[in-house]
């Protein structure tokens, strides 16, 4: 008899209620009303007990017509939620770098607090989210400056800066050159 069959449904249910990570590879649970299956450690809202069915593995859940949860990714063998948060944050930053940064909005989208987002991001990238966005903006500005046909003011606004002085400061801090010097050299610096 293997370890999976020795876990009672009551014990499994307690693991679900407590979001117990130590049960993650031992079983999965599906929610009949949503058609989604999760790991025991999933931080999604606790379902009603009567709507829950337990599975020994992800393949059985999929075969029964359940979809994997997008939050805990039970279909992945190795799942590191911190890395998923960082990846999603980077995706958001790369698509919205030219807009005003609202970390509260981003953290809500990712289901974490602002402080947790900043801590995780710094831990995994060596940048704060604001530093990372600034790097994206300067990299994009460098591309546009190499083209030579767009004014520095237009580039500053196109890359999300609200003032030319802030653009100059961030650009020089990261590259060691002013945008004008970089533009004249066509990126040869």
Determine the Cα–Cα distance for residues 38 and 42; give it in Å rounded to an integer: 6
DSSP 160: T
Compute φ and ψ for 182, nearest 5 degrees: -65, -40
- The single residue of 38, 42, 69, 170 carrying the catalytic annotation is 38
Known catalytic membership, residue 73? no
Cα torsion 163, 118, 74, 33: sign: negative
The H-or-E segment that residue 152 falls in is helix 152-158
Determine the Cα–Cα distance for residues 22 and 5; give it in Å rounded to an integer: 16
Q: In degrees, to the nearest 5, what angle opens at C-alpha 131 toward C-alphas 126 and 136?
A: 105
Active site residues: 38
């Amino acid at each position: 008899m293997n370890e999976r069959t020795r876990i009672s449904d009551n014990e499994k249910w307690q693991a679900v209620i407590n979001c117990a990570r130590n049960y993650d590879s031992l079983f999965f649970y599906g929610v009949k009303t949503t058609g989604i299956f999760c790991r025991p450690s999933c931080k999604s809202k606790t379902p009603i007990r009567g709507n829950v069915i337990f599975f020994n593995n992800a393949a059985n859940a999929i075969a029964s017509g359940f979809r994997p949860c997008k939050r805990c990714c039970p279909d992945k063998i190795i799942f590191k939620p911190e890395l998923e948060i960082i990846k999603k944050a980077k995706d958001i930053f790369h698509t919205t770098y030219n807009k005003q940064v609202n970390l509260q909005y981003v953290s809500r989208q990712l289901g974490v607090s602002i402080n947790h987002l900043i801590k995780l991001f710094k831990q995994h990238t060596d940048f704060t989210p604001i530093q990372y966005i600034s790097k994206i903006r300067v990299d994009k500005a460098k591309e546009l400056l190499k083209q030579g046909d767009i004014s520095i003011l237009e580039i500053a606004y196109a890359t999300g800066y609200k003032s030319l002085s802030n653009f100059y400061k961030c650009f020089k801090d990261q590259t060691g050159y002013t945008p004008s010097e970089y533009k004249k050299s066509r990126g040869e610096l």
